[in-house]
Structure 1
């Protein structure tokens, strides 16, 4: 299968300009790497994909290429972590030169490491600084600069606090595109995992935010699993961002273009999807990658079907072995009953 993704194509019937926020896959640390994104792109041409959060320090001072991606991944947004306007502007400029379609500032991650670097969710308490950061990036790039945030932090969780943050950032920076994780973040006492699960979801608060800022594009994130839920959110907002469900049950993405973008293309089947990954895997192995780094993103492909456990087990037990190649996936997919039309 050959990907046919025109990074500059217009998508009709979608709120906002390209790239569309109608459906996106959340940036997830250690999960949404370039192998994961290539796999997701095989299932959806139109989904907006995000990198893992990359810090400005890693890009400017780190060893290695932290901006590397596959051309097939477009439309693709780079999520940046940082709070120094000059450093963020430099990284945004580099990202635009490399062909990214969007820059997103992380104002949602609650981990201690992120707080110690003065970025992530703690920036919700520094709206003026966020505005300065976004302004600095917007001054040097032509691509969209967006913000992903929470609905509050610690005891600063009133609706007034949230509206003041959005108002300050949008008015002072010109940012008109926000993704709202519909939970507040506890900066102390909860782990990042707990912060994704324990603070209660408050979708109505995000709906109200859109009503109060109708001129801004807003997408919602947090706990979204089904297309029925997405349809309900899209009655109120411009877009939905799906995180863990898109990773743990990746085949849901095969319906995104048909369910949310009006595509009439046939939905790719799971076996076809496995085979479509083979050329990519062989290219990556030839360039020094390991099968396990790629195949780990495919473990949930047959979730809920007979043979799914055997599929996962065979890959988990064999993909890490020296010299492992596509034969591991060929053997694994043979664990799925042949009579299943998948």
Structure 2
């Protein structure tokens, strides 16, 4: 399974806090068998000092799946990587891109773009601790840095540390003055700079991230010479548009899937989750965008949003919500 990760990285769903939890990843795997999936960022202190092993829970069907860690202490990151590899993750990724205040106060995330030597030390320590691949997700720079100067230096240090695969969010992060949400939209995208990095580091597997809203766009990047494409919000809000044809178009294997098939696959998963004491909305909140853009999608979303929190809500609510889609698809009589 682990040997498939590099191939899987042709397309990946970005790690997104509060979104790419295990329920979300299970849904995405039903839509695409090959796409590389990432956890939400898990901090190394939470694992090593906090013993928060519940954050590593995942279903066996999620593979290939990568664990993203946040931290800046090489020793602690090595311990966290070891815990993650033992939990069965196929890749360990280091976050050098998140701009949130909480992340900055812990001296990890995007602020580490200013300390490439420390990042290299972290990566080496993690690699020494595990036998799965260690990768990095970064920005093109932060604050008043000049990306065309700092990004090549950063990547050079990563390559020197043995990194073979990076994902680059093609925006600067502004650590002061912009919220994390604004940092995903306001700094301009510089895809050309990411393409230039592929020219400078031809042996480095480079995935581009940021502002990618369609599978057509992903295909263009791949045909243009980049090794991978990482899709964030579009894969969450319109998962069917990004993932249902990905196996065929990106990997050249398998048949297309459908949102309806994914719903059918989620019903037994939901049964299991509820039998273990879970709540319906913990799963269905990730399913709201399954039919985005299709007739009946509003009724589907409303039925799940309004009903999934209620006591006793179960799979039958999902089946009931699906009738908004099936009825809208039926030809109307004259």
Q: TM class by shorter-chain length?
A: over 0.9
How far apart are the structure 2 equivalents of 1:176 and 1:137?
A: 14
The equivalent position to 2:296 in structure 1, one of 297, 307, 320, is: 307
TM-score, normalised with respect to structure 2: 0.95
Q: How does 1:167-186 map to 2 (within 5 A)?
A: 167-171=156-160, 173-186=161-174
Which ranges in structure 1 are unaligned for 5 or more consecutive residues? 1-6, 11-16
Structure 1 partner of 2:226: 237
How far apart are the structure 1 equivalents of 2:40 and 2:299?
A: 29
Contact 1:124 1:152 in 2 (8 A): yes
Structure 1 partner of 2:259: 270
Count of equivalent residues: 327
Contact 1:32 1:51 in 2 (8 A): yes
Structure 2 partner of 1:195: 183
Contact 2:296 2:328 in 1 (8 A): no
Residues 1:320 and 2:309 are matched in the alignment:
yes
Contact 1:306 1:337 in 2 (8 A): no
SS at 1:297's partner residue?
A: coil
TM-score, normalised with respect to structure 1: 0.93
Residues 1:23 and 2:18 are matched in the alignment:
no
Contact 1:157 1:184 in 2 (8 A): no
* 1:6-37 deviation digits (Å, cap 9, x = unpaired): x3575xxxxxx645310000000000000000
Structure 2 partner of 1:247: 236
The equivalent position to 2:91 in structure 1, one of 73, 83, 102, is: 102
How far apart are the structure 1 equivalents of 2:291 and 2:319?
A: 14
The equivalent position to 1:145 in structure 2, one of 134, 145, 152, is: 134
SS at 2:155's partner residue?
A: helix
Q: How does 1:289-304 map to 2 (within 5 A)?
A: 289-304=278-293
The equivalent position to 1:261 in structure 2, one of 226, 244, 251, is: 251
Contact 2:25 2:37 in 1 (8 A): yes
Contact 1:151 1:181 in 2 (8 A): yes
Structure 2 partner of 1:154: 143
CA RMSD of aligned residues (A): 1.4
SS at 1:298's partner residue?
A: coil
Contact 1:79 1:104 in 2 (8 A): yes
Structure 2 partner of 1:13: none
How far apart are the structure 2 equivalents of 1:105 and 1:9?
A: 19
Q: Could you say which structure has the higher helix fraction?
A: 2
TM-superposed deviation, 1:338 = 3.2
How far apart are the structure 2 equivalents of 1:223 and 1:78?
A: 22
How far apart are the structure 1 equivalents of 2:314 and 2:304?
A: 11
SS at 2:135's partner residue?
A: strand
